[in-house]
């Protein structure tokens, strides 16, 4: 009788093991992770302008100076040993007509945000950024002043003018 | 009396959505036996408005390259792109030296169907090194 009980107990353990095994397996399936593996492959250098918004400026006739009230904004996504240059086109334009020469000063109110390790030269009328192999997003808030160099110009009221800037990214 | 005029520049660029101006490939080195090398650049306009891009070729110091050293295939150097579109531009190079360096650029020169000159001119440039080897 004891023998039979032992057999029954052993069979019971085996049955439990059989019953438990699929349950444990099903649990593993539910809790398991699925994933997609991937690799970017060989990516070349990149310059991509991702934002380009004109700024605004006001004119102070007493000082003959235009001052930005909101900066021109542009973003560049860059990868590689790239160089970025900003050059002011120092002409006051009305439409496509050049009205006067201006002297631009970016240093007055320009902000450049980007990855650490860049070499940035912020000058009066030009800016250069060496990415030094860093990758990431470079954000420019291009503000400043532009002094009209010709004192003899008499502006009419409520006329619109603009000053252009050229941004070059060399990849 | 202080007289202040306020100017709001026409914002010809929209700030919403994915916007981009770019060009592929980036820096490239071509090693060839041939006297003339052909490079194909892909310019893409991911802005939500039509744009005009003008191709330019410079020497290493960003002075315009002599026209004797390159030409655009079919003479096509201006690309008009609809929103979210791209185009290929073929450039033929005939360098005079064993190792020549160029900078090829696409410049945003007009926006919208009216082709208004943008107040910020974006210029995406790619370095190109052409190394000519002898047989």
What's the pLDDT band for A11 if we cut at 50, 70, 90?
very low
Identify from A93, A128, A135, A170 which residue to disrupt to test chain B contact, counting B C-beta atoms within 10 A and taking the largest count. Answer: A170
What's the pLDDT band for B48 if we cut at 50, 70, 90?
confident
- Nearest residue, CB atoms, B123 vs list A61, A155, A168: A168
Identify from A49, A56, A146, A159 which residue to disrupt to test chain B contact, counting B C-beta atoms within 10 A and taking the largest count. Answer: A49
- Chain A residues within 8 A of B7 when measuring between CB atoms: 56-59, 66, 160-162
- Chain A residues within 8 A of B23 when measuring between CB atoms: 47
Contacts for A67 with CB less than 8 Å, ≥ 6 apart: A57, A58, A60, A108, A109, A144, A145
B50-97 pLDDT per residue, tens:
999 999 999 999 999 999 999 999 888 999 999 999 999 999 999 888
Distance CA A95, CA A101 (A): 15
Average pLDDT score, chain A: 86
Give how far B36 is from chain A: nearest CA, Å. Answer: 23
Q: Which two structure tokens, joined as six digits, stand for B129?
A: 């090194």
The H or E element that residue B78 is part of is: strand B78-81
The verdict on a CB contact (< 8 Å) between A54 and B117 is no
A91-107 pLDDT per residue, tens:
999 988 999 999 999 99
Q: What is the helix, strand, coil percentage profile of chain B, to 5?
A: 5, 55, 40
pTM of the model: 0.78
ipTM over 0.90: no
In a 13 Å sphere around the CA of B30, the CA atoms on its Cβ side amount to 23
What's the pLDDT band for A154 if we cut at 50, 70, 90?
very high
**What pLDDT was estimated at residue A32?**
86
Note whether B79 and B43 are within 8 A (CB): yes
What's the pLDDT band for A29 if we cut at 50, 70, 90?
low
Q: Is the pLDDT of residue A65 over 60?
A: yes
């Amino acid at each position: 009788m004891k023998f039979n009980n032992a057999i029954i107990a052993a069979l019971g353990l085996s049955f439990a093991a059989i019953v438990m095994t699929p349950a444990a397996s099903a649990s593993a399936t539910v809790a398991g992770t699925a994933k997609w593996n991937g690799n970017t492959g060989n990516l070349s250098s990149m310059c991509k302008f991702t934002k380009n918004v004109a700024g605004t400026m006001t004119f102070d006739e007493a000082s003959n100076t235009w001052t930005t009230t909101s900066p021109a904004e542009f973003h560049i996504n860059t990868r590689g040993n790239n160089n970025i240059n900003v050059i002011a086109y120092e002409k006051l334009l009305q439409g496509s007509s050049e009205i006067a020469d201006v002297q631009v000063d970016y240093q007055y109110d320009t902000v450049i945000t980007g990855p650490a390790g860049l070499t940035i030269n912020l000058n009066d009328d030009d800016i250069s950024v060496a990415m030094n192999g860093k990758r990431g997003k470079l954000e420019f808030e291009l503000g400043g002043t532009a002094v009209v160099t010709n004192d003899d110009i008499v502006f009419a009221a409520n006329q619109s003018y603009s000053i252009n800037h050229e941004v070059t990214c060399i990849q | 009396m202080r007289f202040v005029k306020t100017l709001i520049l026409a914002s010809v660029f929209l700030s919403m959505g994915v916007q981009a101006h770019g060009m592929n490939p980036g820096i490239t080195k071509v090693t060839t036996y041939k006297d003339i090398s052909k490079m194909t650049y892909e310019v893409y306009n991911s802005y939500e408005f039509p744009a005009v891009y003008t191709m330019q070729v410079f020497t290493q110091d960003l002075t315009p390259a002599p026209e004797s050293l390159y030409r655009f295939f079919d003479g096509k150097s201006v690309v008009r792109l609809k929103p979210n579109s791209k185009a290929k531009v073929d450039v033929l190079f005939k360098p005079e030296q064993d190792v020549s360096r160029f900078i090829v650029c696409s410049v945003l020169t007009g926006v919208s169907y009216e082709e208004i000159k943008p107040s910020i001119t974006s210029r995406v440039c790619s370095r190109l090194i052409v190394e000519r080897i002898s047989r």
